[in-house]
Amino acid sequence: KVWRDWSFARAARAAWRREGFDLVQSHERIPGCDVYRAGDGVHRRWLELRARAASLFERLGIALNPYHRYVCAAERQLFEHPRLRAVICNSRMVADEIRRGFRISPEKLHVVYSGVDLGHFHPRLRGELRGAARAEIGCSPRDTLFLFVGSGFSRKGLGAAIEALKIANHRSYWLIVVGKDREAARFMADAAPLGDRVRFLGARDDVRPLYAAADCLILPTRYDPFPNTVLEALAMALPAIVSTQCGAAEIIEPGVNGWLCQADDAAGLARLLRGADEAIRDPALSAAARASVERFSLDAMAGRLTALYQRLAAEAA
């Protein structure tokens, strides 16, 4: 990984220097670009949070891992490089982490949330797809389906979600897991005592039928700059439970369009599952979920990016 990332960064810099582009934007940590989109957040911050829940052996492995050391060094060089003119942050959380962790002018940090296709992810699909999707899963109409969507189960907090379902101890609570992970077998074994009420469906090209089938999205992530799945779920009028270490927490109003939990707090999450189960039958919750993302249309977010590029181009002229 170190060789791959280093050689790609070297080739990319050589290419833009050779071509003389007016503006170079990178989505990878390559020092020397004009604009960087920090879609992956701050790697150093993720390692700090990961270490809190790690064993001594795991912390030692993180500290000695050459890839982590390379990424953290590249990250610092990127954010503190004199050529860097703007950083596009997909949440205020990420912008704050960059400002606190690096020598960078706050004026370079621009929060531009990701956009969501409000037509593709629409509440009407819940009525159209819900019955068939729930029948395929095998749940009853009175069961409450919590949906987990994301790959990288440990970072996304799947362990806490499974443990919360055990603590809640309610036979009508189901957990549907969409995504992939090389350690999926370990999580399946952990969920085995819950029987069929935890379903691992693997990766899906189209998650909309499962958004339609579900009653609440659950993402108790240990670190996530701003997952698109939260925008998609809310756009389909599905309330969401997310952790405070997730950038999407910035658009969640507890009790209105979802709830906030603490990462790795399975007992607290179990209480939220019960609270969500009592609230999800209220149509106002679904309406508020959809309303909370109306401002995140693809056109609106593209407009903000275009305005930033135009300003940078004018300053360089």
**CATH 3.40.50.2000 domain locations along the chain:** 2-9+22-115+298-316, 124-294
- Give the pLDDT of residue 107: 96
Instruction: Write out 99-114 in H/E/C secondary structure.
Output: HHHCCCCHHHEEECCC
CATH numeric code, 2-9+22-115+298-316:
3.40.50.2000
Instruction: Answer whether residue 306 shows pLDDT above 80.
Output: yes
Instruction: Give the max Cα distance, the chain.
Output: 65
- Average pLDDT, whole number, for the chain? 95
For the stretch 303-311, contacts whose Cβ atoms lie closer than 8 Å and that sit 24 or more positions apart, written own/partner, are 304/112, 305/88, 305/112, 308/35, 308/86, 308/88, 308/110, 308/112, 309/23, 309/35
CATH numeric code, 124-294:
3.40.50.2000
Instruction: Answer whether residue 52 shows pLDDT above 90.
Output: no
Instruction: Answer whether residue 16 shows pLDDT above 80.
Output: yes
The model's pTM is 0.94
In this predicted model, what pLDDT tens digit does every residue of 121-151 receive, in sequence order? 999 999 999 999 999 999 999 999 999 999 9
Average confidence (pLDDT) over 82-106? 97
Confidence of residue 86 (pLDDT cuts 50, 70, 90): very high
H or E segment and range at residue 285? helix 283-291
Instruction: Answer whether residue 173 shows pLDDT above 80.
Output: yes
